[in-house]
Structure 1
Amino acid sequence: MRQIICLVPFALVAAWAVSNWSLVASGVSRLGGAHIGWLVMGGVVTGLCWVAASCVRQGTIVERLPTGKLLASQFAAGAANHLLPAGLGAHVVTLRFLRGCGIPLDRSTAALALYSLVEAIARVGLLVTLVLAFPGALRLDELVPPGRAVFTVVLVAVVLIAAVTVVLLVARRLRRIVFDFLRTALTDVRALHKKPSRTLALWGGAVAFPLLQAGVLVCVALALGVSVPWYHIVVAYLAASIAAGMIPAPGGIGSVEPALAVALVMVGAPLVVATATVLGFRLLTVWLPLLPGVAVLAALVRWRIL
């Protein structure tokens, strides 16, 4: 059964490649005339993204995790994330890894929740900071009328909070489970923030990861000769990643590409060049690491690390 499970990721990536082959081929062809030095730099920055993700994962656990296995698990989690929707692949791989390291189930799930929360706070915080520093970076008035975006966000937030409140009030058993989970999570959060090394790993990695991802996009843009300031590209990436994260597509495929293209056009890039930049970005961060990541995932399953 374990040998069969090891083959499942390869079957999934084969199906994924067939269904997305036109995007892969288009991305490769458009990058044919790009500056190779900047593309190599983009590949190096992509590798650093897994280091940052590993730092955040370590920052969510008080116990010290094995460094090499943690880094390998995050590389495999990146591949799994592109095969399952809404980030479930990465969370499942990480949960299995934490359980294999002896972390109880309630604390492992609390660590996953803390990771998602800190990562969201870091992205939104970075976006707000950069928009305040460079107010002309995003021209939102070209997409929505003034004030409409803020009203929509507030309305959605109010509806979600009201729905969750009603569910918790009606379902007593669910309310008890949620409160027990929150109690465990808050206990771990307090313990983590008493250790400076864990605090630095948690928040430093959460800030570094989106910046490194944005750095890959900047490298591809420079390789294609996009005449847009680098900090505008970083703002475009943060805005697009937050927007695309609301759509539960596997690895953001089908949601990240249009969101990034629109964001790059909003900061001043021509549409054709913006499309080529997005395809190059996805080639470095998704398509090239996918098969090696799946191989590592299968190896970790076979060696009973997952």
Structure 2
Amino acid sequence: MPCPACQAPSPCPQPHVGTAWKPSPDVTVERLSPGLPRRLPLRQILCLLPLALVVVVAVQHRSVLADGFGHLATAEWPWLLAAAAATCLTWVAAAVTRQGALVERLPRRRLLATQFAAGAANHLLPTGLGASAVNLRFMAVCGVPLARSSAALALYMLAESVARVGLLVALLIAFPDALRIGVLLPDGAAGPLLLAAGAVVCVALTVLLLVRRVRTVVFSFLRTALSEARSVHARPARALALWGGAITFPALQAAGLAAVGQALGLPVPPLHMAVAYLAATVAVALVPTPGGIGSVEAALIVALVAAGGPAAVATAVVLAYRIITVWLPLLPGALTLGALVRWKVI
């Protein structure tokens, strides 16, 4: 092999003190260190991680899966297909809302695939964190700065929350007897809940006022978020996509639950089931469990019972609904997430 410094035949007559030897491009790592095992690339590990998490979550909830599939076997299939169609349309609504929260145009197909993958990530990580991380990474790959992508994410979450609560309030005004509040909120529970919420707000305000670094970060983020919101609402197409998608997303989710209720013969009017769904999801949003698994089921069952449904049928409806909206898309969603990581889309 010639000398790497002067290309003289080996052994080189010159000492070349301080010259570091570097392998030529055609020298592979295996030739340099044949005794060392090859390391698995980090991106390849990230591709396999969603599948491993799916297996873990499925094993932990295998009894729920068995019960849910058992109820699906006895349901009316046209209504189940309607529920599945509504579930698929939720990813389209999420993609439209994400685009509406950002001025830059995002690639449509990759954006839709990212929402499908983000749904799987959201069920594998604490509520909201999985989808937020996937979408932040997607916007970063698309060239959006972190400050503006974070502002767009905050605007999306705000629009979705306002739309969900607004839709719930509108339906409660239209159907005041849809829920029996006494079943949802036991006597004497309102006071402690309000006290706990007030304590959380007071602690947050105290930290904001006393810690200068936190105050600086929060105010800087708010300035960026307000600027982004003004830019979005200055474009009618973006504003329509933002708020139209934000309203459509929970409406489709509620329609999916109503369709499953019809498939299993739940004796509750569909609009009352929609009210029950919105009330349960608003209540469970504060519980940081992965994808709401466990907490969402409990809240939905209680809400459907409060809407007038028998407990046994309400339980069957919720289990079947979660099979359609969570467990069936989970594996393909995880595969899509791994593929997007491998292709460097996220």
Normalising by the smaller structure, the TM-score range is over 0.9
Instruction: Tell me the distance in 2 between the aligned counterparts of 1:158 and 1:21.
Output: 39
Matched with 2:144 is 103
AA paired with 1:220? V
Instruction: Tell me the distance in 2 between the aligned counterparts of 1:271 and 1:168.
Output: 45
Does residue 228 of structure 2 align to residue 188 of structure 1? yes
Q: 1:292 aligns with which of 316, 329, 332?
A: 332
Instruction: Tell me the distance in 2 between the aligned counterparts of 1:54 and 1:70.
Output: 6
Equivalences for residues 57-96 of structure 1 within 5 A: 57-96=98-137
Instruction: Tell me the distance in 2 between the aligned counterparts of 1:5 and 1:108.
Output: 22
Instruction: Tell me the distance in 2 between the aligned counterparts of 1:152 and 1:189.
Output: 35
1:152/1:116 Cα in 2 relative to 1: closer, same or farther (>3 Å)? farther
AA paired with 1:215? A
Instruction: Tell me the distance in 2 between the aligned counterparts of 1:231 and 1:242.
Output: 17
* Deviation of 1:117 (Å): 1.2
AA paired with 1:28? F
Report if the CA contact (8 A) 2:184-2:302 is conserved.
no
Over the aligned positions, Cα root-mean-square deviation in angstroms equals: 1.2
Does residue 177 of structure 2 align to residue 136 of structure 1? yes
* Deviation of 1:242 (Å): 0.8
From the two aligned structures, give the one with the greater helix fraction: 1
AA paired with 2:50? P
Instruction: Tell me the distance in 2 between the aligned counterparts of 1:27 and 1:144.
Output: 27
Task: Pick 1 or 2: higher relative contact order, CA cutoff 8 A, min separation 6.
Answer: 1
* Deviation of 1:158 (Å): 2.5
AA paired with 1:106? A
1:235/1:71 Cα in 2 relative to 1: closer, same or farther (>3 Å)? same
Matched with 1:36 is 77
Instruction: Tell me the distance in 1 between the aligned counterparts of 2:133 and 2:48.
Output: 17
Matched with 1:27 is 68
Give per-residue Cα distances to partners, 1:8-60, cap 9 Å, x unaligned: 11111111111111111110011211101110111111100000011111011
Structure 1, unaligned runs of 5 or more: none
Does residue 92 of structure 2 align to residue 51 of structure 1? yes
Equivalences for residues 254-293 of structure 1 within 5 A: 254-293=294-333
Matched with 2:205 is 165
Equivalences for residues 110-149 of structure 1 within 5 A: 110-144=151-185, 148-149=189-190
Between stretches 84-93 and 158-167, larger displacement belongs to 158-167
The 3-state SS of whatever aligns with 2:128 is helix
AA paired with 1:57? R
Instruction: Tell me the distance in 2 between the aligned counterparts of 1:141 and 1:240.
Output: 14
Give per-residue Cα distances to partners, 1:211-258, cap 9 Å, x unaligned: 100011011001011121111000000000011111000010010001
Matched with 1:177 is 217
Does residue 47 of structure 2 align to residue 6 of structure 1? yes
Give percent identity, aligned residues only: 57
AA paired with 1:280? A
Does residue 248 of structure 2 align to residue 208 of structure 1? yes
* Deviation of 1:143 (Å): 4.1
AA paired with 1:26? D
Structure 2, unaligned runs of 5 or more: 1-40
AA paired with 1:211? A
Report if the CA contact (8 A) 2:148-2:224 is conserved.
yes
Q: Which has the larger radius of gyration?
A: 2
